[in-house]
Chain A
Amino acid sequence: MTAKADSFIVDGKLALPYQYFAGRTGSRFLIQLRDQKKIQGLRCQTCDKVFVPPRSTCVSCGAKIADHWVEVKNTGTITGHTVIRYEEPHQPVKPPYILALIKLDGADTPLAHIVKGIPLTKVRTGQRVQAVFAKKTTSSILDIDHFRPLEEKPKIELGYSYEALEVGMSASFTKTISETDVYLFAGISGDFNPMHLNEEFAKLTPFGTRIAHGALPQSLIAPVLGMKLPGLGTVIPEITVRFRKPTYFGDTITAIGEVAEKIDARKWVRMELRWLNQKGELVAEGSCLAIPPVPLG
């Protein structure tokens, strides 16, 4: 635009400080949000509908509902969304950002709010989100600063339950025992016995060379019981081992567990344990009691 020399254009700005009463219903909602970090809605008992933001009168049937406060969750589901890419002074965050309609758990009317922590093109209806409360209050809906993806508890696949275990089921774990393993185990256990660490000393022993600590191959049964059979969630209250042969550096040890007995009275199992080396020789044998996993609390 090119203003002509004889044309006068005045620049102006409408700016009016004002006060605006939130109403009794709105006030209660905003005060609860500010002071308690709790989100409340009003419920119409006739329509069985919870309104957030709260309304003193049911939108559907017109009933007075101002006394029927209910607390809703700070988690919810995205029911609609867009990505705001144009910039305006009234926006609370710099574009681009996700604007979404979020139905809080326990509410029936979705609330418009900002979502962060989801890539712009990945936002979908049905996504679960949770409110992030603002550090500083503005006494408005921005006391919820934004919503972010709900962190679901990591899904854990538990091992076999007592009911799922059968006598004869077995599992194993195999590992080659190196010099490094033996040195680390010496450090972990504090067992610096020269028969494990000093070759010249070891030559004088009945084994004629260094051998691994007995508990080192024994410990290889832990990944079998705790991660395979019965698996995650298992507790081992008792384990007994008889050592039959030494484990030399470089030996490959296979630890095997097998369900031998189901103890119905306690819902425990007894398992037979065996350790074999690469030649198939029995290195150790024993047994344990295992408490199979029960659903986590």
Chain B
Amino acid sequence: MARKVAICAVAQTTYARNKWDQRFQGMALEVLEKLREQIDIKFSRHRREVKGIDMSINVSDDVFDARTISDNAMTDVLGAHFGCAEKVAQEGIQAIYYGLAAIASGHCNQVLIIGHCKESQGQSRNMVTHVAFDPFFTRPVGLDFCAAAGLQAQAYAQKSGLNDTQLAKIVVAARQHAAQNPCITELEPLTAEAVMASDMLADPIRKLHAYPVSDGAVGLVLAAEEIARRITKTPVWITGTGNCMDSFFLGDRDLTANFALKQAAQRAYRRAGISDPKSAFDVVELSDQYAYQQPLWAEGLGLCAEGDGARWIDDDGPTRQRVNVSGGMLAGNPLILGGLVRAAEAALQLRAEAGARQVADARTALAHGVMGAAGQFHSVLTLQRD
């Protein structure tokens, strides 16, 4: 029987448009110090017997960081010096999957995860996601994740009837939630009129429908059950996880079918023993990089009925099901940290440490991450407190 694994500590920096005066290491150190305020962090190799962190995972991206092997400048902050260092370059929530696997299998007992990104460093985030495409068939026509999202948004609007008013409602709600989130310091509340008056990026995606460029860092400590019960009073148990990678070429997929997300969700729900996702979660954090994705991913996660996403927005489904009370990705997290921040926010809720954005008596949560063009890769994580 695999061991149970808990999130035992959670910390994050603020997310801001341009932390020009902070280095990656500085942001990560801020996270580490906040984690140390919560639990005693020691690194196992300094002791004869194995105790403390025995695996450090860095979440970072070579192109965003403008240096390859982007984790190798982070070893000191991660406590990975002379230790076991791993890296996740895809989307941060995968680091939890890695850590879970390492602990559940008995290879490790405690795993430290710290992700960082400064999207402000590059000339444009779209230039980074552009090089995710192949150089023969898709890069030459100028594809990047925003362009791919435009194709998906148009297809979903056509299929579901999702309109500009509903999209504005999603953004307005995200900004209201963000006002309660101390990690989001620069976003002002918006009116629906202002959203609907903002410029188009890739029809029907408007500028204010897109997640803002941001810099920041986030960290978690995972531990095996017996350690978790010793080091924290509020362990958040990982009950299920699943992911799925869809086809690379956009034309190979039905962009509105949520194939990979449904697979990822089913894998996580099966492991967690969840049969009715509509009522299973007290809190849901999903990665809405663009406003249209909130109802689309909600359909794929089974939070609302298939094809019902647009009506779900009208009917205040996100409010009733407490979706993205943090503000979600629309409030601004770096692309590669989106899912990891969702997991951190979900864990904060279950630890009753979410402050003004706290959902009363939250016991169960879902965190979702996405990477790749138009939702090529999805991850789903289900969490529960005692």
Contacts and interface: CB of A to CB of B under 8 A. Distances in A.
B141 A88 contact: no
Contacts of B247: 59
Interface string A36-56: 000000000000000111000
B251 A9 contact: no
Given A22-B136, A112-B141, A86 B146 contact: yes
Given A53-B137, A59-B252, A109-B252, A81 B154 contact: yes
Contacts of B139: 90
B126 A82 contact: no
A149 interface: no
A89 B170 CA distance: 31
B142 A91 contact: yes
A286 to B, nearest CB: 61
Interface in B146-205: 146-147, 150-151, 153-155, 158, 199-205
Contacts of B138: 112, 141
Task: Pick the most buried of B123, B141, B146, B249: most chain A CB atoms within 10 A of its CB.
Answer: B141
B201 A80 contact: no
A84 B202 contact: yes
A194 to B, nearest CB: 72
B18 interface: yes
Contact of A1 (B18, B135, B151, B201): B18
A26 interface: yes
A112 B143 contact: yes
A52 B202 CA distance: 24
Nearest to B210: A86
A92 B202 contact: no
Contacts of A109: 249, 251-252
B136 A141 contact: yes
Given A99-B151, A109-B252, A85 B140 contact: no
Interface residues of B, number: 41
A89 B379 CA distance: 31
A92 B252 contact: no
Contacts of A110: 250-251
Given A82-B202, A140-B136, A141-B137, A14 B66 contact: yes
Given A82-B150, A84-B142, A26 B251 contact: no
B82 interface: no
Contact of A85 (B136, B144, B203, B249): B203
Contacts of A81: 151, 154
A103 to B, nearest CB: 7
B363 interface: no
A9 B142 contact: no
A1 B121 CA distance: 12
Task: Pick the most buried of B66, B136, B154, B158: most chain A CB atoms within 10 A of its CB.
Answer: B136
B136 A88 contact: no
Given A82-B202, A85-B201, A112-B151, A92 B127 contact: no
B199 A82 contact: no
A63 B150 CA distance: 32
A138 B139 CA distance: 13
Contacts of B204: 82
25 contacts: A1-B18, A9-B20, A53-B137, A79-B251, A82-B147, A82-B205, A83-B150, A83-B200, A86-B146, A86-B201, A88-B126, A88-B127, A88-B144, A89-B123, A91-B142, A92-B142, A99-B142, A99-B147, A99-B150, A101-B151, A110-B250, A114-B141, A138-B140, A140-B135, A140-B137
Interface of A: 1, 3-4, 7, 9, 12, 14, 20, 22, 26, 30, 51-53, 59, 79-86, 88-93, 99-101, 103, 109-114, 125, 138, 140-142
Given A99-B151, A140-B140, 6 more contacts: A26-B137, A85-B201, A86-B146, A90-B127, A90-B144, A112-B143
9 smallest beta-carbon distances between A and B, as pairs: A82-B150, A110-B251, A91-B142, A109-B251, A83-B203, A53-B137, A140-B140, A142-B140, A82-B202
